A and B are shown apart, each in its own frame.
Chain A
Amino acid sequence: MDLDVLLVATVARALAFATPLLWAALGEVIAERSGVVNLGVEGMMALGAVTGFAVAFTTGEVWWGLAAAGLAGLAASALHAFVAISLRADAYVSGLSLTMLGLGLSALVGRAWVGRPLPDPMRTVDVPWLRELPLLGPMLFQGQYVLTYAALLAAVVAWLLLYHTRGGLLLRSVGENPTAVDAAGLPVRPVRYVAVLVGGLLAGVAGGYLSLAYRPSWGEGMVNGLGWIALALAIFAMWHPLRVVLAGLLFGACFTLAFRLQTVFPPELLTMLPYAFTVLALVFTAWRRGRHAFGAPEALGRAYLRGER
């Protein structure tokens, strides 16, 4: 196989694999930039996947399914937002319980749909104009799902919103120094609510991609740690939307290349690789920045209470 053919195939596969990671990690970046960590990504993705599949299966409309998937993620994140922001409970435990609840609940309600293929799943399309580009066209803009292209677009939009608007500045400030924002008479908790809800919406979409496009079906192990890998991706990308795309592609490329070793390695060991690679990526991030938590929002994981330091 020619080198450029291999490169194109690898990047294209990597992108398809990385799409749910991109959606979920972008959502988590937005939430964590506002200072609220949400460990419920895995659960929100599972709920999104099962809801999306159920709605698409009953209505026959894959886009209704996608909308339902996003809403399911949003609803789940609202629970986390209420507990972690309003009740000021421990955000880490709250997110963790959301994951456990989401996984259990999705398995419970999804029993009726296990093993049924989606009759009319999402179809792959090419992007007009851009598909003609040399090299980049076949790599990024041909034969993918709309959600894949939309993920790339969403990253750019998230970057613009976070770094080039007043609202984005406010959101990041809330994550860095909520006391100062509050003192300036600007809202803290509403901003955090919005960030967490957007994060949930995107995680739901990530789940919808899995059950409506990538593997148009529903099964209990569908998310299988992708939500946790997305959390790691947010850290690896140092909470920056554009770096999420690069990091996601790197993750995807590694997994794709590893799966080419299928003939040499037993499948169980290959399946292990994404998780091992995630640990390595985190170690690399830590090594690169030394002991200092470079890039992390200053107030990450801490509930805000007026008057409290």
Chain B
Amino acid sequence: MIPSLRRARGLRRWEPRADAPAWRVLLVTLGAVAVAALVVTWVFVAYGVAPREAWATIVRRTLLEPRGLSETVRKAIPLLLAGIGLLLAFRARFWNIGAEGQILAGAIGAAAVALFAELPAPLVIPSMFLAGMLAGAAWGAVPALLKARMGVNEIITTLMFNYIALYLVRWLINGPWKARTATGFSYSERFPAEAVLPTLGATRLHWPTLVIALALVAVVALLLARSRFGFEVEVLGRSPEAARYAGIDAGRVTLLLAALAAGAAGLAGVGEVAGIHRRLVEPTQLSLGYGYAAILVALLARGRALAVIPAALFLGFVFAAGDVMRVSLRLPSQLPDVVTGLVLLLVVASEPLTRGRWVRREADGPPAAADARGGPAAAPPAAPAGEGGG
């Protein structure tokens, strides 16, 4: 595939294939993770921390101790919700990178209910989830509408909406929703007791959100495998032309998927404010980049709904490990971002490696015509700029 490499091998030629065997996908993914682990080890050494002890501390405090394990799972919750949503959006080639903003929008929706709605106590939590989901969905539906109706590049609009959401939250907690007691740091009033999610024992694991997330993953898996809607998504993801011939309304499906994806991210925002912070807080504290990490979750899962669970748990571990590095090992707090970016890069770089094989070159036969860029998960998003890049 690399010209010089191919020439050097002389007799061999890289032949792309449409589908990758599962074992190879797994192997390549694990390889990417291993390289990232090596880089982190190198960072340990660079900062003068003994690597062996550092890893032992991380494993103990994120996986072995009950409290640490609960933190890993807790951080996997928003990644599960946003990740399963993005998986749907990516399958329809809607390149949503606005989950971060949709999480914040969900948090705003939930906070509005918690702070201002006068509801009977048992209705508060369900209303918060509903409001958060709707707020997230609305936040994601605007770029989707612009994309479906006018062909506006969704990569940039969803990203711009992240910044708009961030400053919206910041404005709310500094202006109209600012707590009377807030000095220095800004935040909203504390949520009333009936607007706070129960947690598992003394941990911060807000289990109702986890239950919703797992249920959503199951529903999406069923939907994709068994329903007409799942079939439409599948066709649309593989070939927009084929979808048009099959009479599938691409705009409608895209809009529905994008709204669903954004709604799921909105639910994640509800969990963060109602389960962890119990008030609306500074946006960068509220979502620690979960929306961006969820992109990696969706890509690691490669179009398979159930695979979102291990992928989200892995990234939950990365985030929890980041906390351990910062608190116990006194390492910079930006390491999880680096790991996320690195694994994403390695996974996408190795993507072509999973779909192909070296074959003996027969004289000068015609080059393979198979599609090297297929695959539903990491398929290019219908060339956003090519089809309607504006």
Interface residues of A (CB under 8 A from B): 32, 37, 39, 43, 79, 82-83, 86-94, 96-105, 107-108, 111, 189, 220, 224-225, 228-229, 231-232, 235-236, 266, 268-269, 271-272, 275-276, 278-279, 282-283, 285-287, 289, 291, 293, 296, 298-303, 305-309
Contact across chains for A235 and B156 when beta carbons are under 8 A apart: yes
Additional A-B contacts beyond A92-B95, A93-B378, A308-B367 (4; CB < 8 A): A88-B352, A104-B339, A229-B160, A268-B174
Contact across chains for A92 and B170 when beta carbons are under 8 A apart: no
Contacting residues of chain B (299-352) with chain A, CB-CB under 8 angstroms: 299, 332, 334-342, 344-345, 348-352
- A-chain residues with CB within 8 Å of residue B352 when the two chains form the complex: 87-89
- B-chain residues with CB within 8 Å of residue A92 when the two chains form the complex: 95, 155, 380-381, 384
Contact of B372 among A32, A271, A305 (CB under 8 A): A305
1/0 contact string of B364-380 vs chain A (CB within 8 Å): 00111101110000111
Contact across chains for B386 and A301 when beta carbons are under 8 A apart: yes
Contact across chains for B383 and A300 when beta carbons are under 8 A apart: yes
Alpha-carbon gap, A108 to B47, bound state (A): 11
Contact across chains for A302 and B156 when beta carbons are under 8 A apart: no
Alpha-carbon gap, A299 to B386, bound state (A): 7
Contact across chains for B295 and A291 when beta carbons are under 8 A apart: no
Contact across chains for B380 and A104 when beta carbons are under 8 A apart: no
Does residue B66 face the partner (Cβ distance < 8 Å to A)?
A: no
- A-chain residues with CB within 8 Å of residue B337 when the two chains form the complex: 100, 103-104, 107-108
- Given A228-B159, A286-B150, A286-B151: A90 in contact with B174 (beta carbons within 8 A): no
Measured CB to CB, the nearest residue on chain A to B166 is A272
The 7 residue pairs across chains A and B that have the minimum distance between CB atoms: A104-B337, A101-B341, A307-B367, A100-B341, A268-B171, A97-B344, A104-B338
Contact across chains for A275 and B171 when beta carbons are under 8 A apart: no
Chain B interface, >50% SS class? helix
- B-chain residues with CB within 8 Å of residue A107 when the two chains form the complex: 332, 334, 337
Contact sample, A vs B, 25 pairs, CB 8 Å cutoff? A83-B348, A88-B373, A93-B344, A93-B378, A108-B332, A108-B334, A220-B334, A225-B159, A231-B156, A266-B175, A271-B167, A272-B168, A279-B164, A282-B156, A282-B390, A286-B152, A293-B151, A293-B389, A302-B373, A302-B380, A305-B367, A307-B368, A308-B369, A308-B371, A309-B369
- B-chain residues with CB within 8 Å of residue A306 when the two chains form the complex: 367
What's the minimum C-beta distance from A256 to chain B, rounded to whole angstroms?
A: 18
Size category of the B interface is 35 or more
Measured CB to CB, the nearest residue on chain B to A302 is B383
Alpha-carbon gap, A306 to B174, bound state (A): 57
1/0 contact string of B41-52 vs chain A (CB within 8 Å): 001000000000
What's the minimum C-beta distance from A128 to chain B, rounded to whole angstroms?
A: 39
What's the minimum C-beta distance from A37 to chain B, rounded to whole angstroms?
A: 6
- Given A97-B344, A307-B369: A272 in contact with B163 (beta carbons within 8 A): yes
- Given A93-B344, A105-B338: A283 in contact with B146 (beta carbons within 8 A): yes
- B-chain residues with CB within 8 Å of residue A83 when the two chains form the complex: 345, 348-349
Measured CB to CB, the nearest residue on chain A to B4 is A86
Alpha-carbon gap, A236 to B157, bound state (A): 13
Contact of B348 among A94, A266, A271, A285 (CB under 8 A): A94
Contact of A32 among B160, B342, B385, B390 (CB under 8 A): B385
